[in-house]
Amino acid sequence: MRRPAFYSRSPRTLPQAADSAAHQAAVSSPEGGGNGAPPDSSPPPNPHAKAGWQPGRRSFAFLLVLCAALVAGGATWWPRQGKALTQKDIDSAVLRTLQTNTLPSPAAKAAEIVRPSVVRVVGYGPEKATPEAKTQKRGRNMAKGKPPEADAPPGEVERGVGTGVVIVDKGVILTNLHVVAGAETIKVTFSDGLEAVATITGVQPENDLAVLQAQKIPDDLIPAAMRSTGDLRPGDQVAAVGFPFGIGPSVSAGVVSGLKRSFRSPEGKQELGNLIQFDAAANPGNSGGPLINMDGEVLGIVTAILNPTQQRTFIGIGFAVPIENAASAAGSPPF
């Protein structure tokens, strides 16, 4: 007994099934000539020929699942077959980055970290009634288009300009004592431009240090991070940040030249000990500013420069009070 052909439910097979039914009808129909032969000359279909396979809905779904499995398996397998990165590949990529990108210097990155904590410190006091002061005042008045008025009463003028560094976010500032000594009014200017009056809350004359408290502070004041000098060595990179001659904030870079140095003031009135010697450029106005490492951490407070002549300019030797001493002046030794 001949088995009927099986067709899938795919719509694409419907025309083929219709043609087969029409052919069977033509064979058994009287209009076919009465002898069972088809009206045309085409040979009858081979009953033993296998019908061409065409995927149905179930087969198509199976194919989709199979393809998804192959894709998922390939995604897992492919990276394992890729070339493993070697140290040479990594070195080549790093070298290309260094050649195609300009990176900031270590001193630049360190200065950027500490800059929000650095302040300009100015001490104001009565103008001294000396011949030099009178001459300077005449010059200022004439420059402003005013009469010389040589005998006019003295006013409040700048007595000292230096630098300070914020160590507590409530407005506690470290600076040098000689920057604010004798000042009747002290004003500090923060990195965002805010100017505030400050008062002296503590001094440490043996280390030329003063602690200030600002009466007004920025909302987002950031204190500097302090770092012990216990592992500091000659040759370590450092930077000095401050306002030399009132210009700044300025940055100069160098190295630690020595430790446990001593310095006597030009007047011979005071000798400082246990100082950090460094060769980063410092000038009047840097006093009270931070000496930092390449992580932007404060190692000391810049306090003096050595110059055997009468010139108060830098010749390559500067001194800083270690931060251990400086922090103790504020009553909070950090180490």
Locate the domains of the chain by residue range. 236-330
For residue 23, pLDDT over 80 is answered with: no
Picking from 174, 221, 223, 171, the residue whose alpha carbon sits closest to that of residue 197 is 171
Which one is catalytic: 117, 208, 252, 279?
A: 208
Report pLDDT for 196. 96
Higher pLDDT, 54 or 266: 266
- The average pLDDT across 9-30 equals 48
Which one is catalytic: 178, 252, 257, 279?
A: 178
Task: Decide if 89 is catalytic.
Answer: no
Task: Decide if 23 is catalytic.
Answer: no
Phi, psi for 333 (deg, rounded to 5): -60, 125
Which one is catalytic: 117, 250, 252, 287?
A: 287
Report pLDDT for 7. 42
Report pLDDT for 95. 82
Report pLDDT for 217. 95
pLDDT classification of 28: cutoffs 50, 70, 90: very low
Most confident listed range (131-140, 143-152, 306-315) = 306-315
Phi, psi for 245 (deg, rounded to 5): 55, 30
Report pLDDT for 32. 44
Picking from 76, 285, 63, the residue whose alpha carbon sits closest to that of residue 179 is 285
Report pLDDT for 281. 95
Q: What is the pLDDT of residues 262-274, one digit of tens each?
A: 998 766 577 899 9
Average pLDDT value for the chain: 78
Q: Which two tokens stand for residue 324?
A: 């251990």
Per DSSP bridges, beta strands 250-264 and 237-242 are antiparallel
pLDDT classification of 125: cutoffs 50, 70, 90: confident
CATH of domain 236-330: 2.40.10.10
Residues in contact with 288: Cβ distance below 8 Å, sequence separation at least 6, in sequence order: 121, 162, 163, 164, 165, 174, 175, 176, 179, 210, 242, 301, 302, 303
pLDDT classification of 150: cutoffs 50, 70, 90: very low
Is-contact 321 209, C-beta < 8 A? yes
Task: Decide if 178 is catalytic.
Answer: yes
